[in-house]
């Protein structure tokens, strides 16, 4: 991929910051979308929840990557926070898609975040990108999130959706909370441990996004998950082995529901999602197995 000017929304988040570092290290110019007054030419102001973006700041960009959105696991799902989860994604995506479509010279590609939450509960059934959306709050949000990118796609901009799984990293997300617990010897399975977790190493997440940016023949949804999802019990055992700590403190499902409320369904639910289209495109995972992904994060 030739050096390019790439706008990144959500550049302060776990994935966005890692992507920005990777792109910058390889000589690309990264323009960050920020909520405050820009501090220099490398920043563009926007307000995702109100659907506003400084369109002029995107001029000359070869690609736009939108990874912004309120953290799904950051707090209990009150009605107000559920609205924030939805609005930060749907309104922000719509604003960026409209801005991209309005440019005299639109970028070649618009990569928009999404999540495997779109599929809902899959049990032991493996699903790829051809599977329909599930039912419930998160599937509904993901469907609206992807639909909000329509202005860019309709303007002829190659549009890609990155349906990301659970990112294995120390700096945030589910594993950002799991690592300290396991290091303290307080780790353990959640519920009965039979639910599938579709994970991806942060290294592979960034590499996959860059793969999708560079390949001009790729568009539409791509599952960003390792090829072989593992159950929560298997992941607990892998964490215990890698960190050399016992995993004795199983958390019963009723306790999780009491502590987490509606969000417990996301933790206890099973999502066995495979990266069919990503593998077909020739992408190769550096850390396809859970132990390797954990070691990479450490």
One pLDDT digit (tens) per residue for the chain, 298 residues = 777 999 999 999 999 999 999 999 999 999 999 999 898 889 999 998 888 999 999 999 999 999 999 888 777 788 998 999 999 999 999 999 999 999 999 999 999 999 999 999 999 999 999 999 999 999 999 999 999 999 999 999 999 999 999 999 998 877 887 888 888 887 778 888 899 999 999 999 999 999 999 999 999 999 999 999 999 999 999 999 999 988 776 765 565 565 456 555 665 678 999 999 999 999 999 999 999 999 999 9
Structure tokens given for 201: 């190493």
- Picking from 250, 74, 84, the residue whose alpha carbon sits closest to that of residue 174 is 74
Q: H helices within the chain, ranges in order?
A: 14-25, 79-102, 137-147, 150-154, 173-183, 202-214, 232-243, 253-260, 264-268, 276-280, 290-297
The domain covering 5-297 belongs, at the CATH homologous superfamily level, to NAD(P)-binding Rossmann-like Domain (3.40.50.720)
Residue 186, pLDDT score: 76
pTM for the full predicted model: 0.94
Residue 8, pLDDT score: 98
């Amino acid at each position: 991929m030739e050096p390019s000017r790439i706008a990144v929304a959500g550049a302060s988040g776990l994935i966005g910051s890692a992507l920005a570092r990777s792109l910058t290290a390889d000589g690309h110019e990264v323009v960050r979308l920020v909520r405050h007054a820009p501090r220099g030419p490398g920043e563009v102001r926007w307000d995702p929840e109100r659907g506003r973006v400084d369109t002029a700041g995107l001029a000359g960009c070869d690609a736009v990557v939108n990874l912004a959105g309120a953290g799904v696991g950051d707090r209990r799902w009150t009605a107000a926070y559920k609205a924030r989860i939805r609005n930060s994604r749907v309104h922000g995506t719509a604003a960026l898609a409209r801005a991209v479509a309005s440019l005299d010279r639109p970028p070649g590609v618009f990569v928009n975040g999404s999540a495997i939450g779109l599929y809902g509960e899959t049990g032991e059934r493996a699903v790829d990108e051809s599977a329909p959306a599930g039912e419930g709050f998160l599937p509904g949000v993901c469907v609206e999130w992807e639909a909000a990118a329509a202005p860019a796609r309709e303007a002829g901009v190659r549009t890609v959706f990155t349906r990301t799984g659970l990112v294995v990293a120390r700096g945030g997300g589910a594993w950002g909370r799991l690592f300290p617990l396991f290091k303290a010897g307080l780790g353990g399975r959640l519920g009965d441990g039979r639910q599938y977790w579709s994970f991806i190493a942060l290294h592979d997440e960034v590499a996959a996004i860059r793969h999708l940016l560079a390949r001009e023949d790729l568009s539409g949804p791509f599952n960003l998950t390792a090829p072989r999802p593992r159950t929560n019990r298997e992941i607990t055992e892998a964490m215990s082995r890698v960190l050399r700590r016992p995993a004795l403190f199983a958390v019963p499902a009723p306790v999780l529901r009491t502590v987490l409320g509606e969000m417990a369904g996301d933790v206890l639910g099973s999502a066995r999602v495979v990266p069919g289209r990503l593998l077909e495109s020739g992408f190769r995972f550096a850390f396809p197995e859970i132990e390797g992904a954990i070691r990479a994060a450490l």
